[in-house]
Each structure stands twice: as structure tokens, then as C-alpha cells.
Chains A and B, each alone.
Chain A
Amino acid sequence: MLNWKKYLIASIVVFVAYTAAGYLIHEVLLASAYRQEEVVRLLRPEAEIWKRMPLGYFANLVLALVFCYIYTRGVEAGKHWLGQGVRYGLLMATLVSLPTALLQYMLYPLPLALAFQWIVYGYGQMLVAGIVVAAIYRLPTGLPRP
């Protein structure tokens, strides 16, 4: 049985953590990479991007809800939450971040270095999300998984 209260709290916290990490990655760490001429011509003007940003936040919310839901289906009692969170984050990065970065690189003529940075930072972002959901959605030790 799904623990709705824990699930919703986990989803909100993952949404905040994932969005904050995304801001750090794209607005701080990769800010100079996005100013390269070969990249700028592939992007909307900055004002247009910010105008559409609610869609980006909605995308992160959907991701957080599903990310946490899948975790609740596979979380195991009797195993340490931190290990489960780390493994889940790495697995999800392999499912989401890595293919997305590679396919973006294939679709748009972006520099390879940027795609690699997306992959590395994407793993970090998912790792944080995995640890957050595992820390919040803990099962009492000794009980079977829901």
C-alpha cells in the first residue's frame, strides 16, 4: 500500500531539489558554454526561454511525481535507504539523463564537450534526487515491501 503522505512530501522535495540542481547546472556551471556562438544559434532568445519556463517547471514536477512513484514500487525493507537511493539515482540517470544528452547531441550540432557535461551533471542531479526520495520514503525494517 502506497504511503500517500510520504510519497507527496518526497515528490515535492525531489521537485525542489531537482529544479535547484538544474538551475545550478544550467544557469551557473554551464552558463559560459551556452554563450558559445555555435550553441546560441540553436537556442531561443533568453527572454523567450524565460517566458516558457513554466513549462520547464511543469516538466520537472511530472518527473518528480513519476520518479518518486517508481521508487515506492521497488523500495525494499531491510536494506539501507542510502544504498537504495544511490543505486536508484544512478539507474534513473542511465534511463533518463544519459540517453537524453546523447540524443540531444545527435539531433542538434552541439559541442561534444557540452553533451559530456550534461551526462556528468545529470548523474549528479539524479543521484541527489535518489538520495532525497530514499531518505523520505523509508520503510520500517522487517516489513515486506508494499
Chain B
Amino acid sequence: MSWRKFALALVVVFVVYSAMGFLVHEHLLKQDYQGIASILRPVEQFNIWLVMLSNLLFALAFSFIYAKGIEQKPWLGQGVRFGFAVAMLTVVAENLIDYTVHPIPQSLMWKSIIYESLGMMITGVAAAATYRA
């Protein structure tokens, strides 16, 4: 494994994944969150550093696992497939359990799964493009 490429992929994945999270949760789902504001943490308690730490650790594992499974196949397809697989593992499982346990509307669950999965596939493409470069 090329550690230089791994370090670069780590940074790229962290930035893209964080940007996707911001787009999905701060814009696309903002209105849906207003409907369940009574069970959400107040905005003034929001800790951006904790989110960054979480995203950094995620990017570390994401980039490492992708690097271990690279094959001699077109990079774009590999990136999309890997992003889809990780979405199944994280986004789908997490949102289904979230809906099972917390009193959130089904529409929010579906929107979260769709938007976050697309974001994950874009993150996979970003990782694949970096390892290809």
C-alpha cells in the first residue's frame, strides 16, 4: 500500500464526507428536523469538533479498507460499488435502527437513506479517484 496515497485519500475522504454531511443534514433535511425538534439536541449544544473527530476516524477506516481491496478494474465503478457497500453497512443499518427506536417519521428515514447513500457513493468515487491519481 502506498502510504502517500493513503494519506491523500484520508484527507480527500474526510473533506468530501464532511461536505456531504453538511449538505444533507444542514440543507436537504433541515426542514424535516424542525418537525422533530423536541427530541433533538439544542443547536447551542452542538459540538462541531466531535463531528470532525467522528468524520476523521470514519475517513481513516474508509480509506484503509478501500486501499486493501483495490483491483485491476475501472476506478469509477470500484468507487461507486465501495461507496454503495459502505452505505448498506452504515447508512441503511443505522437509519433503520434509528427509525425503530426513536419516534421519527418514516419519510425522514427514507430521505436520510437516499441522501446519505448518494453522499457515500460520491465519497467512494473521491477515494477511488485519489488512489488512481
Contacts and interface: CB of A to CB of B under 8 A. Distances in A.
Interface of A: 41-44, 48-49, 52-53, 55-56, 58-60, 62-63, 65-67, 69-70, 73-74, 91-92, 94-96, 98-100, 102-109
A116 to B, nearest CB: 12
Closest 10 CB pairs of A and B: A95-B61, A59-B96, A102-B54, A94-B61, A74-B68, A59-B93, A73-B69, A52-B100, A109-B41, A63-B93
Contacts of B8: none
A56 B96 contact: yes
A108 B96 contact: no
Interface of B: 39-42, 45-47, 50-51, 53-55, 57-58, 60-62, 64-65, 68-69, 85-86, 88-90, 92-94, 96-103
Contacts of A102: 50-51, 53-54
Contact of B55 (A53, A60, A99, A109): A99
Contacts of B100: 44, 49, 52-53, 55-56, 59
Contacts of B90: 95-96, 99-100
B102 A42 contact: yes
B17 to A, nearest CB: 10
B97 A105 contact: no
Contacts of A108: 39-41, 102
A69 B85 contact: yes
A66 B102 contact: no
Contacts of B57: 94, 98-99
B54 A103 contact: yes
A74 to B, nearest CB: 4
21 contacts: A41-B39, A43-B101, A44-B102, A48-B103, A55-B96, A59-B92, A59-B93, A59-B100, A62-B89, A62-B93, A63-B89, A67-B89, A91-B61, A95-B58, A95-B89, A98-B57, A100-B94, A102-B53, A106-B47, A107-B41, A108-B102
